[in-house]
Amino acid sequence: MIDATAKLSVSRQAGLLGISRGSVYYKPRPISDGDLKLMHRIDKLHMEFPFAGSRMLQGLLVQEAFKVGRLYVATLMKRMGIEALYRKPNTSKPAPGHKIYPYLLRRLPITRPNQVWAMDITYIPMARGFIYLAAVLDWFTRRVLAWRVSITLEADFCIEAVEEALARHGAPEIFNTDQGSQFTLTDFIKVLIAREIQISMDGKGAWRDNVFVERLWRTIKYEEVYLRAYASVSEARASIGRYLGFYNRRRPHRPPDLPAE
């Protein structure tokens, strides 16, 4: 897919293919068909029961005749980048050099575009593998302002999506994410600070803090992803792109009725 001998730079080729630069140099570890089947099922169960942790998911999988232990479910969840969504005490500590910012959206009325943007990452199953999808969402319009897919959870594709959103739509007043390592990384934070954007971060595991993005993921998966069996990254990107075009331009959205509590 990427030709290192071509006249176009590797970065330019990656951009044309819609994948992050970091993905180009990533050497994926082989994943068994059994693990892929488990991961795809865990993803669907997570969409249906977002409050379920590894113990509950393991119980649900056993009911469906999967033979899997709780610790292995937890390992796969980590690989997929998902966790149970419920409010719990914030006892997490930032990694060295990573700063955690306070949540700024509590009781804030959302009244206009470019007031609050949010960003998140989700797992996207394919026929024979998986990718990750990152999206920047305007809380008021519910439009997806920019997005990227990647085969890794490195921060590159998140930074690229944010830079595209800023170039196309200007800067928001507040940018909200969870506390994932991609969003606390210095290189990611610098992009926002350079534009004097206020940074807001969810309480760890608090689904309501970024509820509009969670709604977006549920919509994309049930209306697009779960109806497909993407054969390649390029096919997944093209199909998701078509769906997001419909989502932005034609799909009705509910008004922004939820100031965070």
pTM (two decimals)? 0.80
Grade residue 253 by pLDDT with cuts at 50, 70 and 90. Answer: low
Do both 148 and 210 map to the same domain?
A: yes
Non-local (6+) Cβ contacts of 231 within 8 A are 126, 127, 128
More confident residue, 142 or 5: 142
CATH number of the domain enclosing 152: 3.30.420.10
Domain hosting residue 219, numbered range: 116-249
Do both 59 and 155 map to the same domain?
A: no
More confident residue, 253 or 133: 133
pLDDT of 95 over the 80 cut: no
The pLDDT value given to residue 17? 57
Asked if residue 260 is part of any domain, the answer here is: no
For residues 159 and 176, the answer to whether their CB atoms sit within 8 Å is: no
pLDDT of 21 over the 80 cut: no
- What sections of the chain are H helices per DSSP? 10-17, 21-24, 33-48, 54-63, 70-80, 156-169, 181-184, 186-194, 211-223, 233-249
Longest distance between any two alpha carbons in the chain, whole Å? 54
The pLDDT value given to residue 166? 98
C-alpha span between 98 and 141 (Å, rounded): 31
The label of the residue with tokens 């949010």 reads 118
Q: pLDDT digit string (tens) for 181-235?
A: 899 999 999 999 999 999 999 865 555 556 788 889 999 999 999 999 999 999 9
More confident residue, 13 or 159: 159
Lowest mean pLDDT among 10-19, 65-74, 192-201, 249-258: 10-19
Do both 234 and 129 map to the same domain?
A: yes
Do both 17 and 122 map to the same domain?
A: no
Do both 52 and 168 map to the same domain?
A: no
Non-local (6+) Cβ contacts of 2 within 8 A are 10, 13, 14, 17, 24
Name the strand (E) or helix (H) holding 144: strand 144-150
Asked if residue 109 is part of any domain, the answer here is: no
The pLDDT value given to residue 5? 53
Non-local (6+) Cβ contacts of 27 within 8 A are none
Q: pLDDT digit string (tens) for 115-143?
A: 999 999 999 999 999 999 999 999 999 99
Q: What are the tokens at 37?
A: 């089947």
pLDDT of 6 over the 60 cut: no
Asked if residue 28 is part of any domain, the answer here is: yes
Non-local (6+) Cβ contacts of 233 within 8 A are 1, 17, 19, 126, 131, 149, 151
The pLDDT value given to residue 96? 59
For residue 102, which amino acid is it?
P
The pLDDT value given to residue 3? 47
Asked if residue 168 is part of any domain, the answer here is: yes
Q: pLDDT digit string (tens) for 107-117?
A: 899 999 999 99
The pLDDT value given to residue 148? 97
Work out the average pLDDT over 34-46. 94
For residues 50 and 85, the answer to whether their CB atoms sit within 8 Å is: yes
Do both 242 and 155 map to the same domain?
A: yes
Task: Look at the chain and report how many structural domains it folds into.
Answer: 2
Neighbours of 21 (CB within 10 A): 19
C-alpha span between 96 and 116 (Å, rounded): 28
Mean of the per-residue pLDDT values for the chain?
Answer: 84
Domain boundary among 53, 80, 107: 80
Helix (H, G, I), strand (E, B) or coil at 160: helix
pLDDT of 159 over the 80 cut: yes
pLDDT of 25 over the 70 cut: no
Non-local (6+) Cβ contacts of 54 within 8 A are 70, 71, 73, 74, 77, 84
The pLDDT value given to residue 211? 78
Do both 121 and 243 map to the same domain?
A: yes
